[in-house]
Amino acid sequence: MRRGLEIGLIALVTVCGFLLTGRMSRHALNSEPALTADSFQIIPVRIHLFRTSSAPAIHTSLSREDIERIMRKTNAIWHRAGIHFWQESVVEEKPYRVPFPRSVSEVPLNFLNALPQPANRTGRMFHVYFVGSMSINGLHMGNDAIYVQQGAELVKMPGGIDEPLPRVVAHELGHGLGLPHRQDRINLMSSGTTGTGLNAQEIELARKTARSLPFSLSAAEFLEHTRMLDQTAQRKAVVSRLQSLLDLPGSSPLKQRAREMLQSL
Ligand SMILES: [Zn+2]
């Protein structure tokens, strides 16, 4: 029920976002503090791609290469807040249940949660599901139930991002980090625009939320957890984790340790 209510509220706020013109706070893009790799929070995220030949509205044709690019751009937005999303894995999965006609052109929002395979879900990370088509660009129904439609469309803003999907993913992850919608059209949390700005208050709140998530680690903790893994049996995860640390901006002793560890594998 709560999720149903959330859909209603999100829809209402989205509609309001289009109807009202908010004040433009131009300082938003210039207020990011300088962050070093050591001050980053790392949050694991699993990406799910629905594959089905019998339900075009559910099926997404996005490739793993598309996801690499999308997540690189999503991270470029969130790096300004000292937050990095580690792409734990990309899972291609069949829809678990399809309790609506497979011929529909858009997945009904109230049935989205029927689609994920329970076995591919864990409470230890964010989960982003790409679907072929639905009536809105994206929906955050919980940190394990973030939905993004492949055909997302956004209103272009000056200085905005060059493609919709990373912005929609970053926006929905923003909800996961406790951020509400904003009217400022160049802001990441405005509805339906290419804006990617974050102001100082949003950065502070997102970082505070990130630190409170049980599966979010500081970069140093993330490196330490990586060191504890079985370097042979879990080699793929180790490499992915170390490369993720190397993706953090700037240079730092922590990144140097990650680089040395990667070279020694
Ligand atoms: Zn939203």
* pLDDT, tens digit, 9 for 90 and up, residues 184-195: 999 999 999 999
Whole-number Cα distances in Å, 84 to 43, 52, 95, 125, 173:
6, 31, 28, 13, 11
Is residue 10's pLDDT more than 60?
no
* 254 C-alpha to ligand 1 centroid (Å): 34
Paired strand residues for 92: 49
* 153 C-alpha to ligand 1 centroid (Å): 14
* 132 C-alpha to ligand 1 centroid (Å): 19
* 124 C-alpha to ligand 1 centroid (Å): 23
Lowest pLDDT segment from 29-43, 164-178, 249-263 = 29-43
* 237 C-alpha to ligand 1 centroid (Å): 31
Lowest pLDDT segment from 7-16, 17-26, 75-84, 193-202 = 17-26
- Report CA torsion sign: 201, 213, 254, 256: negative
- Report the predicted TM-score, pTM, of the whole model to 2 decimal places: 0.87
* 105 C-alpha to ligand 1 centroid (Å): 22
pLDDT band at 33 (very low <50, low <70, confident <90, very high): low
* 47 C-alpha to ligand 1 centroid (Å): 19
| pLDDT at position 25 | 40
Is residue 30's pLDDT more than 80?
no
Domain ranges of the chain: 41-216, 218-265
Lowest pLDDT segment from 93-97, 159-163, 230-234, 260-264 = 230-234
* 204 C-alpha to ligand 1 centroid (Å): 19
* 155 C-alpha to ligand 1 centroid (Å): 14
For the chain, how many residues are written?
265
Paired strand residues for 146: 128, 140
User: 254 or 4: which carries more pLDDT confidence?
Assistant: 254
Is residue 163's pLDDT more than 70?
yes
* 223 C-alpha to ligand 1 centroid (Å): 32
* 176 C-alpha to ligand 1 centroid (Å): 10
Average pLDDT value for residue range 163-168: 98
pLDDT band at 54 (very low <50, low <70, confident <90, very high): very high
* 31 C-alpha to ligand 1 centroid (Å): 22
- CATH 3.40.30.160 for domain 41-216: no
CA distance 16 to 22: 10
